[in-house]
Structure 1
Amino acid sequence: MTEFPVSRRDFMRNAALTAGATMAAAPFAQAAVTPGLVAATQHGKVRGFIDQDIYGFKGIPYGDDTAKFRFAAPRPPQPWTGVRDALAFGPRAPQPGTAQSSASSGAQAGPISEDCLYLNVWTPGLRDNARRAVMVYIHGGGYNALSANDALYDGVRLCKRGDVVVVTLNHRLNLFGYLYLAELGGPAFADSGNTGQLDLILALQWVRDNIAEFGGDPDRVLIFGESGGGAKNACLMGMPSAMGLFQRAASSSGEAVTASRPETATRRAEQVLRALGLPRERIAEIRTLPMEKLVAATGAAGYYGPVVDGRSVPRHPFDPDAPSFSAHIPFMVGTNRDEARLLIGRSAPQMFDLTWETLPANMAKYAEKMGSLDQGEVIAMYRRNHPDFSASDVFFAATTDSRDWRPALVEIERRAALPAGAAPTYSYELHWGSPVNPKWKAHHALDLPLLMDNVTLSPRVTGTGPQAYQMAEIMSETYIAFAKTGNPDNPKIPHWPAYDLKRRATMAFDLPPQVIDDPRSEPRRMFSQVPYENPGT
């Protein structure tokens, strides 16, 4: 750690900022009386803090307490008088357990509450008319869990590196955000299947209306996110009511080709009602049940996600094609080359010790996205293309390509098939592998501390060697360039052509980064024979 003493100091400071209101307020006692740290929003004034010459504001309400309108569209926050402290994260959305991000720097901060519509802002300047690009990060955890209350999402380093404004936010999750009750409860529950997405739209409306006060440009907004956050962003690309609220979009290791059909989502809602002991004729009572009882019932449905409700989500986000109404938005889509090494290997470590004899039976357990393909032929294809692969290497390549890379490719290729004049789509893969646990290679979530430029906050994932910092510089500079211009080109990478169906140019983030045409061409052709649907459709 002596190699990076300043970064270690920064890590300790940022960790303290996530410890809660009591811990956060103490370091900023002086800042609390500094007039220059007060910003005016449309709903009231907020007092922030300074961290490494960057202004920070945590826990700004962008919506009212959702307990007041459970399973309904969100509403703006109640105005307040005086100056409200914005020194600590707001509550997390209701969720079971104590899950944390695969790249987390620690436990998620803050209590859980239905009063969870809060966002955080980091900026180099207030009211300076600088019109900086705005980077709105939407957190992962599927549609079920986690929050923005993690030191890993700290925006200081992106602000300092790129002179940008960074926003992170919390929103409703699991059954609170995606339980489709419209078919069972009627018009009063018309928006229930997509309230989590509607929360995101309300947050983006807050950015549009308030970000100039924080030195940002409401006409240069990037939404970006990893894992579940990437999927939420892909879904926003298929929501007409989100148009005009962001001008670039990026999805990392999370896709939304299809949303749930109403009939499928209704069956899941029936499972939840049974778990609650609530007959259909008493469905209205679900709005007044204790939050804890609903949290306990979240596991009954098994899956939550956006629903094609004919209202906010009028169609599948990327099926049967890419939506024309978002064709004007530049889109950057990426995956990690070895996603499944963590997604599967973390809970099934025996998959790292497969033999050629045990491979077929074990791969069959995870072959739901391989359809009716002959798995012997799938194995033979990987062995032919990668004669150095072990049986475990083949397993993780096949499961990554069919389950994680394939849906990203569907989005990319359907965007590339849009008529001439559509905004460009950029495809990338992370190839650089973590030195902390080499067998995981370029695993799921490894890109998160790199694109956020927060390697110091995630040493157990990336390590703190010079290569990790170099990769963070490359990836964060690329995201910053994309936020500013809608084009990811920057001095840290070679020229990155937009994806087309002839060349299929793809950026491989590695040391050094390079553009590869049609990577994984044989897996692409093989798995394209299988119709694709998201889980839970």
Structure 2
Amino acid sequence: MCGARTSSDPLEGRCTRRTLVKTGATALVAAAAPSPLLARSAKAPRVGRYTGLVEDGVLAFKGIRYGRAERFARAVPEPWEGPGVTATTFGPICPQRGMKDEPQSEDCLYLNVWTPEANPAARRAVMVYFHGGAYTSGSVTDPLTHGAKLAARGDVVVVTVNHRLNALGYAWLKPFGGRYADSGNLGQLDLILALQWIRDRVAAFGGDPARVMVFGQSGGGAKIATLMAMPEARGLFHAAATMSGQQVQASGPMHARARTQAFMAALKLAPDDVESLRAMPVERLVEGLGATDPEMGGGPVYFGPVLDMTNLPRHPFWPDAAPQSLGVPMILGNTRDETRAFLDPRGARLAGLSWDNLAERIGREVKIDLDPAWVSAQYRAQYPDWPVERIFYAATTAGRSWPGQVIEADARAAAGAEATWVYQLDRPSPLDPLRGAAHTDDIPYVFGTLDAPGSYSGTGTAAQRLSQAMMGAFAGLAKTGRPGIADWTPYRLPERATMIFDDAVRVENDPRRWQRELWALAPYVQPGS
């Protein structure tokens, strides 16, 4: 998994981000609703002390502060009452190594709301989006995740959330004393604070606090999986959807401490000089994020949720699905060609790929310890007509980006979870023939942002119909606890029913069974854990 567009994502090792054609009995239940009435003050809509704007036919309130925090400390909520605020532009994003064109600040606890009408009696379902980028980078300012089209066509309230990332949100400092007791999971606690704000405030924007769905792509999905094992998140959301984003295990505290020490060494700090780390300019702290990870054998240092036994008392999906999550209806999705997004078919890592070096190239990328020469031979025997590049991407996707979803879906099914639905995006990009159906390509279909910068979907009739299907499926889950496609069969063992989102939308049982069984011969170890 990876983040919005391009980033380095340890959850996937290294990385960065279809038309309901009716077949059989498939039917779209949650079709786009007529445009709802706007609030009375359409020119300058106001909710509480926040003045927003009209955007694409809905009301938008951007850059609403939901909390404040000192460095490495738990955030406190922002009061609802106070001086008037003009909420028409996004707040600053968390400091990070990328996205230098965006305003960055440690003061980054802001959310954004799009609503068809700011009417407390409306009680529309609420869809809350967490962005990708692992736990290191990214932001909901990405045009792919602007919420106006989803709010209008899905007839829902859309909320998107920024929070603390990388060392600011996940450095493990608890060994330095009680004032750092919540470190390692501060970014997660920010999301919980945002969900508490939504519980208490979203009704004023026309939302229903009893129907809150969280959804997220890549690292955003991983954050959701982690929340499903955090006691303080219990009851704050009622449905969930993860898009190429899984968190089977969290980081262990000893690995997390080694990473913090490597980070401090890169900043030329003594191993116990936490006070300098707390006081240094944030620009210098960000420079230290380039430190080499001591546990993953290369790449930038990983910061993510830590098994601290208080805020996160167990792994999200090991040895089983967290019991508190079993009553939450959930969609889990993946794309067929995940790794084409971050193993560039035009880049150096694919240059010179041949049958002679296929095994070595596969071995560099996968996260399951099987002999790559044997894997290569198995793929060639199973798919004799496939060219070398197709086998490379199929194997690296199935051995790197897909296993976490299989583990989570199987764990929920085995535990008798409330309801689980699984999808696979198969529709290839019509704009880039080498991209296939890659990581992040499901985002514009769900948000309806087909024409946004960074979208590979195209804007033709096929893309629009698939967007209607996926948007309806997600909005349906938010509204009713079931996807808005009538015959999307729940995921159960051993059938493993999977919705294929392509130009023809259809359900298939266990569509990549051979690959799933091959990679299940050895355990998957979550990068970063």
Task: Please classify the TM superposition score into its range, dividing by the shorter chain length.
Answer: 0.7 to 0.9
Indicate if the aligned counterparts of 1:173 and 1:196 stay in contact, CA closer than 8 A. yes
Deviation at 1:518, TM superposition (A): 1.0
Equivalent pair of 1:353/1:392 in contact (CA under 8 Å): no
Aligned length: 483
Partner of 2:374: 377
Aligned partner of 1:262 in structure 2 is 253
**Aligned partners of 2:250 and 2:266: how far apart in 1?**
24
Scaled by the length of structure 2, what TM-score is found? 0.88
- 1:335-414 aligned at under 5 Å gives the runs 335-345=334-344, 348=347, 351=350, 354-367=353-366, 369-371=367-369, 373-414=370-411
CA contact (8 A) 1:225 1:233 kept: yes
Pairs within 5 Å for 1:32-43:
37-40=45-48
Say if 2:359 and 2:372, in contact at 8 Å, map to a contact too. yes
Please tell me whether the aligned partners of residues 427 and 505 of structure 1 are also in contact (alpha carbons under 8 angstroms): yes
**C-alpha displacement of 1:395:** 0.8
Cα drift, residue 146 of structure 1? 1.4
Q: Does 1:75 align with 2:76?
A: yes
Runs of 4+ with >3 A deviation? 31-36, 346-350
Whether 1:176 and 2:168 are equivalent positions in the alignment is yes
2:26 match: none
Check the 8 A contact 1:436/1:460 in 2, yes or no: no
Q: Distance in 2 between matches of 1:123 and 1:294?
A: 37
> Counterparts of 1:130-529 in structure 2 under 5 Å?
130-183=122-175, 185-300=176-291, 301=293, 302-345=301-344, 348=347, 351=350, 354-367=353-366, 369-371=367-369, 373-419=370-416, 422-458=417-453, 461-490=456-485, 495-529=487-521
Measured against aligned partners, the alpha-carbon deviations of 1:58-116 in whole angstroms (never above 9, x if no partner) come to: 0000001x3xx2112111125663321001000000111337xxxxxxx6xx4100110
> Which range is displaced more, 292-301 or 199-208?
292-301
In structure 2, the CA distance between the partners of 1:417 and 1:347, relative to structure 1 (3 Å rule), is farther
1:190-217 per-position Cα deviation (integer Å, ceiling 9, x unaligned): 1110100000000000000000001000
In 2, Cα distance between equivalents of 1:261 and 1:363: 27
The CA deviation at 1:486 is 1.4
CA distance in 2, matches of 1:154, 1:287: 33
Name whichever structure is richer in helix by fraction.
1
Distance of aligned partners of 1:36 and 1:340 in 2 relative to their CA distance in 1, 3 Å threshold: closer
Structure-2 change in CA distance of 1:524 and 1:196 (3 Å)? same
Moved more, 467-476 or 194-203: 467-476
Shift of 1:380: 3.0
Aligned to 1:22: none
Say if 2:140 and 2:161, in contact at 8 Å, map to a contact too.
yes
Could you tell me which runs of 5 or more consecutive residues in structure 2 were left unpaired when the two chains were aligned. 1-38, 294-300
Is the aligned partner of 1:63 residue 2:99? Answer: no
How many Å separate the matches in 1 of 2:311 and 2:387?
Answer: 47
User: 1 or 2 for the larger relative contact order (CA 8 Å, sep ≥6)?
Assistant: 2
Of residues 284-293 and 172-181 in structure 1, the stretch that sits farther from structure 2 once superposed is 284-293
User: Given the alignment of the two structures, is residue 124 of structure 1 paired with residue 123 of structure 2, yes or no?
Assistant: no
Query: Following the alignment from structure 2 to structure 1, what is the Cα–Cα distance between the partners of residues 411 and 232?
Result: 21
Deviation at 1:533, TM superposition (A): 2.1
**3-state secondary structure, aligned to 2:410:** helix
Q: CA offsets per residue over residues 357-387 of structure 1, 9 Å max, x none? A: 22122222223x231x232332233233333
Change (3 A) 1:277 1:347: farther
- Aligned partners of 2:44 and 2:365: how far apart in 1? 56
Tell me the distance in 2 between the aligned counterparts of 1:346 and 1:113: 35
Q: Name the counterpart of 2:89.
A: 88
Asked if 2 retains the 8 angstrom alpha-carbon contact of 1:345 and 1:352, the reply is no
* Cα distance in structure 1, aligned partners of 2:412 and 2:337: 24
RMSD (CA atoms): 2.0
Query: For the residues of structure 2 that align with 1:189 and 1:441, how far apart are their CA atoms?
Result: 45
Per-residue deviation at 1:501?
A: 1.2
2-side partners of 1:452 and 1:278: how far apart?
Answer: 44
The superposition leaves residues 332-370 of structure 1 with CA deviations (integer Å, 9 ceiling, x where unpaired) of 110000001112126845527632222122222223x23
AA partner of residue 85 (structure 1):
T
The answer on whether the counterparts of 2:171 and 2:184 sit within 8 Å (CA) in structure 1 is yes
Q: Please report how far the alpha carbon of residue 530 of structure 1 lies from its aligned counterpart in structure 2 after TM superposition.
A: 1.6
Q: Tell me, in whole angstroms, the C-alpha distance in 2 between the residues paired with 1:428 and 1:358.
A: 32
Q: Is the contact between residue 482 and residue 489 of structure 1 (CA under 8 Å) also seen in structure 2?
A: yes
Compute the displacement of 1:508 (Å).
0.6
State the Cα distance separating 1:289 from its structure 2 match. 1.4
Does the Cα contact within 8 Å between 2:62 and 2:87 map onto a contact in 1?
yes
The question of whether the paired residues in 1 share the 8 Å contact of 2:474 and 2:484 is answered with: no
> Would the alpha carbon gap of residues 82 and 190 (structure 1) be closer, same or farther in structure 2, given more than 3 Å must change?
closer
State the shift of 1:391 in Å.
0.9
> Secondary structure at the residue paired with 2:333?
strand
Distance 1:95 1:34 in 2: 36
Normalising by the residue count of structure 1, what TM-score does the alignment of the two structures yield? 0.86
Q: Deviations over 1:5-55 (max 9, x none)?
A: xxxxxxxxxxxxxxxxxxxxxxxxxx9997971101xxxx10011123311
Give the aligned residue type for 2:446. L
- Which one of 45, 49, 57 corresponds to residue 53 of structure 2? 49
How far apart in 1 are the matches of 2:237 and 2:79? Answer: 25
Task: Indicate if the aligned counterparts of 1:141 and 1:228 stay in contact, CA closer than 8 A.
Answer: yes
C-alpha separation in 1, matches of 2:454 and 2:43: 37
Q: How big is each residue's C-alpha offset from its partner over 1:206-231, in whole Å with a ceiling of 9 and x where there is no partner?
A: 00000000100011111001111111
SS in 1 for 2:492: coil
Note closer, same or farther for the CA distance 1:428–1:266 as it changes in structure 2 (3 Å cut): same
Change (3 A) 1:448 1:346: farther
The SS at the match of 2:191 is helix
Which AA in structure 1 matches 2:342?
A: L
Structure 1: how far apart are the matches of 2:504 and 2:160? 30
Where do 5+ consecutive residues of structure 1 fail to align?
Answer: 1-30, 100-106
